[in-house]
Structure 1
Amino acid sequence: MEQDDRSLADDLLGSDENERRKVVELRELVERHNPAAKEVDNATLRRFLRARDQDVKKASQFLSKHLEWRRSAVPNGFISEAEIKNELSQRKVFVQGFDKIGRPIGVVLNARHDPSRRNLAEFKRFVVYIIDTLCARAGEGQDKFTVIGDFKDWGFSNLDIRSYLAALDIFQNNYPERLGKAIIVHVPYLFLKTWKIIYPLIDKNTREKFVFLKDEDMTENLLEYIDESQLPEIFGGKLPLVPIEESSGMI
């Protein structure tokens, strides 16, 4: 392994002795079959372990599949704005602020999604771009993010089951232990019907991170998770929405 014992110990602060041992085992196992695993940090190994209930063999299979996917889906190591021009032009995803425990916040205005303009390959790249951007904004000691999904004015013209399933597949199979909270607001009846289709496909731990808020007490409930100074203006807070492509370098 390229890391010395001191850096390994530093990276694993905050995890128990058993988990530290299993992270070492996981690294050795995955690197044996995939040299690319040498670039994976210990925090990532820890997330994949936790997603497989500390089973080293299952975690190694999970991580190996992810590394293969990453090499194919993100060959340059990142998704550029030039690769997702159509998705960005719809101005439907924003990033700014942090919740009360320091998780970066993403906002998705789902009524701006236009399935008639959607190219599935580009949409998948856009999903990776969104998640990578949120992950990059997470500070030291924090590797999760919060998403506010706004369904105001969302209807049949926005319904896109194929895209939802593609996004779920990317997220669950490649970004374990990243979602902190998904807060869903302005929920129409149609989406509740759609949710019944998607819900069984979401793993149990992820399901528990979804919160649906009623319109009448939306701001009050949002303020339980997010300080007013960090909450977007459209939800009763003080921060303006910032398009995701303009969020680079924001504090």
Structure 2
Amino acid sequence: MQAKLSPSTTGSSAASAHSKHPFKEPKQVEALKNLRVLLGPDNEKFDDGELMRFIVARSYDLPGAKDQLLASLEWRKTNKVDDLAIPGSSNPNGVMYGVRGWHSVPDANIEADQPNVPEHAVRLQKYMGGSCLHKWDKAGRPIYIERMGQHNVKGLAKNVTTAELVDYHIRCTEFVHNTIMPECEERFGTDDKVIDKETVIFDCTGMGFHQLHMDGLNMLRSLTDMDQKAYPERLGKLFIVNSPFVFVKVYSMIKKWLDPGVIEKIHILGKDYKSILLDHIDEENLPEFLGGSCTCNHMPGGCVPSVIMNNIKPVDKTPAQNNNLLAVPTYLRPRSSSSASANSIMDFVLPGKPKDGIYQMFSTMAHGKACEYEVVVADEDIEHQPEVIIKFRIKGVRAACEGLNFTVARFVFGEVADNGTIVVPTKFYSHIECPETSDGILVKFTATEAGLYVLSWKPEHQCGLVQMEYGVTVDGIPGEGSDML
């Protein structure tokens, strides 16, 4: 995780002069000096702490740290992250989850119709087990608590798109880094102690095999990838408590996505976790249900409000037409709610960058089952009517393309998302038209309305395992499949 990259407060060329908390170890000082040389004149824009996070994330590979830093800046610019309206002491913006114990933002729960609280941030509360930014640990780091074991993973994957979840996560992350971290610095920081990380507690109480849902795990992977690339070295410690056997199964998959440095910060605990938490967190700052003495009984929902656990009433949804959908103006990815589900491209997308603008995937495309790809076009982009292009081709088995139907459908937001109208007529492509090795078939349409578009293709006959290559772009922005940065 990472805060907004802020300008340096000094013009000195000495590395240690670029930070309120100078790094003193010779290895650190040398690495900072050399990275600033690699960055050239632009190095003056960055604080030592910002640069050191990227240096550590790349294990002191300085060219790699430079590349990741610049890529994160480009990502922030492209996705307008720095323009997001987040809660703070000088604005009325509503919070995205429960907040307890801070001066800069009064104790609050997420509510509908609050300034700059998107509709999807309210909607997803129905499926989340409960979360709260709850006070601070003994090091002065903010504590984020999530009742992971109570998540309705299937409901989340079905009713919240990955684009919406990513947008929600970005907003929450920016709030912590740009509102709460500065308060931590002011209240608990010293000349020798920088506070730029957070402590996280995941409570797995209630977790079961029903949460092993591929679409939900793919959503989690999207967030994990983004955090490691765009927000490196923002995690202090992660305590996973009340972890049952099923978590071993989940973690065996999640661990493959994580950098070694992140894995070292994860502490998986069973039911004997209370003394360990109290070693790091004062009793009065730890919720009672986790072994502390805090109840936050002055707030609805107590320390960690949860609709699923019925300690707080469901939040009414804001009307969809008032939805400020995304921080990312155009967003593309395989659709998690595809009716093909476990047989969809979500399960078989091969990693890596596209070749000639096309990603490769395997899909068991059964009769009547559609593979879908979603495109979200924001209000601010609709003025220039962005062009959506999908290119696809069969590789290896020409017969697999026979009987393939390709449809582009217009969908609306919210619960009526499947009552759409066709905006591009369905076309039948024969195996002759679907080339094996050439550039493939291009289908284009112009987005004339803001909203969620779903690209859907399905075979008319059982084709078995189909090796297919595809690519989707909106005004030159590629869909998911390449590295995010």
Bin for the TM-score computed over the shorter chain: 0.7 to 0.9
AA of the residue aligned to 2:161? N
8 Å contact from structure 1 (residues 95, 105) kept in 2: yes
Q: CA deviation at 1:91?
A: 6.5
Q: Distance in 2 between matches of 1:31 and 1:151?
A: 47
AA of the residue aligned to 1:4? G
8 Å contact from structure 2 (residues 144, 200) kept in 1: yes
Q: Which residue number in structure 2 is paired with residue 115 of structure 1?
A: 157
Q: Distance in 2 between matches of 1:219 and 1:192?
A: 20
2:294 pairs with 1:236? no
Q: Note closer, same or farther for the CA distance 1:78–1:22 as it changes in structure 2 (3 Å cut).
A: farther
2:279 pairs with 1:224? yes
Q: Note closer, same or farther for the CA distance 1:60–1:213 as it changes in structure 2 (3 Å cut).
A: same
- Bigger helix share: 1
2:59 pairs with 1:20? no
Task: Give the 3-state SS of the residue equivalent to 2:22 in structure 1.
Answer: coil
Q: Which residue number in structure 2 is paired with residue 51 of structure 1?
A: 57
Pairwise CA RMSD: 2.8
8 Å contact from structure 1 (residues 87, 126) kept in 2: no
Question: What pairs up with 1:118-133 in 2 under 5 angstroms?
Answer: 118-133=160-175
Question: What pairs up with 1:162-241 in 2 under 5 angstroms?
Answer: 162-215=218-271, 217-239=272-294, 240=296, 241=303
TM-score by length of structure 2 reads: 0.45
Q: Which residue number in structure 1 is paired with residue 423 of structure 2?
A: none
CA deviation map 1:18-71 (0-9, x unaligned): 533543443453466xx6x76543311111112223232111011111112222
Of 34, 39, 47, 1:41 maps to 47
AA of the residue aligned to 1:69? W
8 Å contact from structure 2 (residues 129, 151) kept in 1: yes
Q: Which residue number in structure 1 is paired with residue 122 of structure 2?
A: 85
Q: CA deviation at 1:9?
A: 0.6
Task: Give the 3-state SS of the residue equivalent to 2:201 in structure 1.
Answer: strand
- Bigger strand share: 2
CA deviation map 1:75-99 (0-9, x unaligned): 4433655233323554622111211
Q: Note closer, same or farther for the CA distance 1:151–1:91 as it changes in structure 2 (3 Å cut).
A: closer
Task: Give the 3-state SS of the residue equivalent to 1:86 in structure 2.
Answer: helix
Q: Which has the larger radius of gyration?
A: 2
TM-score by length of structure 1 reads: 0.81
Q: Distance in 2 between matches of 1:189 and 1:73?
A: 39
Task: Give the 3-state SS of the residue equivalent to 1:94 in structure 2.
Answer: strand
Task: Give the 3-state SS of the residue equivalent to 1:229 in structure 2.
Answer: helix
Q: Distance in 2 between matches of 1:208 and 1:63?
A: 22
Q: Which segment drifts farther, 90-99 or 195-204?
A: 90-99
Of 65, 70, 77, 2:76 maps to 70
AA of the residue aligned to 1:59? A
Q: Which segment drifts farther, 225-234 or 106-115?
A: 106-115
2:199 pairs with 1:146? yes
Q: CA deviation at 1:242?
A: 5.4
Q: State the identity as a percent.
A: 28
Q: CA deviation at 1:211?
A: 0.9
CA deviation map 1:99-125 (0-9, x unaligned): 122221000112234333221011112
Question: Mind listing any 5+ residue stretches in structure 1 that lack a counterpart?
Answer: 244-251
Q: Distance in 2 between matches of 1:31 and 1:117?
A: 47
Give the paired residue count. 239
AA of the residue aligned to 1:47? R
